[in-house]
Structure 1
């Protein structure tokens, strides 16, 4: 696959088959399962976490509570989970790399703090601009950005978030240099895009879709390998003149390192079962997500590979990691 693909190591993941008897998974149920979302309500991670949590409780025969713990580009939620109970009662829903801290450290260090549980889903990005921007195509946006470096601003949900990394990779592919404006979550970022405080975002379908008919933003391209079935008129980045560019965000779940393997296995089985239900499939599809599922080992391998791949951006000073 092309090296400019942001997240490329989990494309082969498929949902693990589960027997009908696994509809309810038996694990210790002393108190609720707390699902930690390290970003504010309304973003892709939050939407995904709540969709899965609604069905996961039934699979585990256990109450599930979703808690938003935003801050520091996901670090606060990741640290809360890593320092929490090691009994499977706290489950972090996050991007493939749950904390920006790990980009500046040896790849294996994340495994000393967080235990991979299950891959969840993936989604392509949309390259969207404020509706008042003259650009009608990605090529026109690139021409404008090349003509006046740093004159355009792009937003992200936070420094070193997957959306930030995807935009930096897009800039490298297009040969442009826009000014980065990090936010504390997707909601504030989209608000400022609509208001014209920033001009460009590379965001998930779930983040962009609610505003597509408003006329206040315009989608120039999608970062998937092929056009999205729901939006056949929106070209891919590759079709727009930048062959080989593909980027997608991946989501996974984690517990504190040291959590017993039996607890992780039970959570993994419960999550995979939830991902196979028609209700979850339909809701994820509505938000532009493709369920993946899989094993802890598959999530671990993809996590380590992604950290190593992004190290080049950190070394090139395109992404700042505040430890």
Structure 2
């Protein structure tokens, strides 16, 4: 074979995988972007996911469809994404650690399942109780909990969800021991809090706020470093006698591991554009969220750090990961 012809064949062979990847990415862009929310409709994750998804259509110039795939504390949605298409057509929207199962693994194992795409937003929590409970302050609640170990119940959207972890951290800081009741999402958890089946939740502003005006809930504290501008009369946990206590929920987006870097970069750029719009800023602020944005590397760093931070709760037996 002539040398020039041979070089052409070699070049064509080398470019073939790249061309295949580009073709797959182009095909993926023609299909709707499926945003997977691993919790039921109505909760903080769902609300935030839909706000972002609504803006992504114009930011990415493609149609976007939100799909709720709840179950097993976020595992079903995370596993669905991890086992799905690796072309950037499926985007998981979840808390910083999207699946309880990952707490039982070495942190780096998570990256073999999901590829970080973009940090989204963060929000402090509200410590909310059913208004039938006589406690008017966090101190009064703690005193009651100490008098009645396991006598008070707290809810979470599921075992080892960020809300569950935040409540366990609060219990550890306050020296109390309440009974955990996990639910299949924020919606049913809030329903039972209103009904008195549970007494307390540590939940996002988005989850608690709709029920404040009814008087059926009472917020004792917020977990931010400073008081919330929207609720200046509610003290922080730190102000309530626990200096330095801060807890927040953070959200991010993920694709299946093995998704081409170019597809992830395109999604990251579109999400960051969406987060910078005035409309998204306003809607997130209404729900108590602060947009973050950033790079896949920043999300990866935060994700691995949170997994390591939770290791102590797992080892202490406060969190089960054998679902």
Q: Residue 288 of structure 1 corresponds to which residue in structure 2?
A: 288
More helix by share: 2
Q: What is the aligned partner in structure 2 of residue 94 from structure 1? A: 94
Task: Establish whether residue 121 from structure 1 lines up as the match of residue 121 from structure 2.
Answer: yes
Flag structure 1 segments of 5+ consecutive residues without an equivalent: 1-25
Runs ≥4 residues deviating over 4 A: none
Quote the residue 1:42 is aligned against. Answer: 42
The alpha-carbon deviation at position 154 of structure 1 amounts to 0.2
When Rg is computed on C-alpha atoms for both structures, the one with the higher figure is 2
Residue in structure 2 matched with residue 249 of structure 1 by the alignment: 249
Q: Distance in 2 between matches of 1:155 and 1:28?
A: 40
RMSD, matched Cα: 0.9
| Structure 2 counterpart of 1:6 | none
Aligned length: 298
Match of 2:228 in 1: 228
d(CA) in 2 for partners of 1:313, 1:28: 40
Q: Map Cα deviations across residues 62-81 of structure 1 (whole Å, 9 max, x no partner).
A: 00000000000000000000
Deviation at 1:322, TM superposition (A): 1.9
3-state SS of the aligned residue for 2:301? helix
Q: 1:30, CA displacement in angstroms?
A: 2.1
**2:29 match: secondary structure:** coil
CA distance in 2, matches of 1:244, 1:199: 25
1:39 alignment partner, SS class: coil
1:210 & 1:217 partners in 2: Cα distance? Answer: 10
- Deviation of residue 28 (structure 1)? 4.8
Q: 2:78 & 2:260 partners in 1: Cα distance?
A: 19
- So what's the TM-score if we normalise by structure 2? 0.91
Q: What 5-or-longer segments of structure 2 have no aligned partner?
A: 1-25
TM-score, normalised by the number of residues in structure 1: 0.91
1:68-106 per-position Cα deviation (integer Å, ceiling 9, x unaligned) = 000000000000000000000000000000000010110
Quote the offset at 1:27 in angstroms.
Answer: 8.9
Matched ranges for 1:142-221 at <5 A: 142-221=142-221
Is contact 1:222-1:235 (8 Å) kept? Answer: yes
Deviations 1:185-242 (A, max 9, x none): 0000000000000000000000000000111110000000000000000000010111
